Amino acid sequence: MKLTKSKAALLAGCALFATVGGALAQDQEPVKATMIIYLDPSVQFFNPVVKGAQDAAAAFNVDLDVQYANNDPVRQNDLIDTAVATGVDGIAVAISSSDAFDDSICAAVEAGVVVIGFNNDDLEGAAGNCRQAYVGMNEFDSGYELGLRMIEQFDLKEGDTVFNPREIPEASFAVARGGGIEKAMSEHGIKVETVRAGLDPAEAQNVMAQALIANPDIKAVFGTGSVTSTVGAGAIKDAGVEVPFGGFDLAVEIADAVESGAMFATMDQQPYLQGYYPIAQIALAARYGLTPTDVDTGQGAFLDQARIGTVKPLIGSYR
């Protein structure tokens, strides 16, 4: 893989931080951090996120506690409040709703806790939430890019209908990614149909297949998250139709579908970095007062048949 000078410098800088963090760790008091994932431990997408966080914790001597909200906003707010009460230096939190966590995050920041969003952000970004930085994909832009690429690749045109099932339609990732897809389609006079697919893979596959059977005029399918993207090729097969399919995230099933041609491409958001950077930044902010900064982990994340083989062996660990 060819690196630009800027990316090479960034990687070198990360290596330096990790080396310095490891060298000084024995002389430093641990920084305390809590990472809050909005789903449950069974969602394999977050395995690389946790690995990244754990690797950063080891490099920067961070006492890391990983918690799961199980898609329960009340529990997630309780986890944020509990972390503050226990005296953590920083919280890394997936902001899966633009409204549900505003009060608890602002209270944490007012209490002097560093709060960094990861994976999902408020739809208004920093203007809509007190978090001090966001590490993750620009989800709207990624949805827009995928939409435009599929319009061009498959000659989608005015009057066509495409299908964009969404695991949790009200979640910020679904609103942003789906919004990007809708913008690309609306610019070309293409209608978007959507449906709640849910988080259970078997249920999502059945919902998608039934929608495809019910509307034989659908010209393309867009997965919105890891579940719909994982089962999309199977749903298309179950429905007995042949339509192009693109989506988001990485799983073995997704990589296999792209590799075989059953899926056009997937948008990778590099989850390892979504775990590593927040914990590293919390440590640097707590120790040295360095200001956390946004990191777009979705740059250059378009993975088609020509590129998927490079990252496939890393799925589940670093991708």
The whole-angstrom separation of Cα 286 and Cα 309 is: 39
What pLDDT is recorded for position 83?
A: 98
pLDDT at 227 over 90: yes
- Paired residues of 48 in beta bridges: none
The class of domain 5-137+269-299 in CATH terms is: alpha beta
What pLDDT is recorded for position 5?
A: 42
What pLDDT is recorded for position 27?
A: 52
Q: Which two tokens stand for residue 246?
A: 């693109």
pLDDT at 158 over 70: yes
* pLDDT-based confidence at residue 17 (cuts at 50, 70, 90): low
Residues of the chain with CATH 3.40.50.2300: 5-137+269-299, 139-267
Residue whose entry in the numeric block shows the structure tokens 């827009």: 144
Q: Which two tokens stand for residue 92?
A: 């890394």
pLDDT at 79 over 70: yes
Q: Is the separation of the CB atoms in 21 and 279 below 8 Å?
A: no
What are the pLDDT digits (tens) for 275-285? 999 999 999 99
Q: Which CATH superfamily is domain 139-267 in?
A: Response regulator (3.40.50.2300)
pLDDT at 138 over 50: yes
Mean per-residue pLDDT for 217-221? 98
The whole-angstrom separation of Cα 68 and Cα 43 is: 10
Residue 312 has a CB neighbour count (10 Å cut-off) of: 17
pLDDT at 1 over 50: no
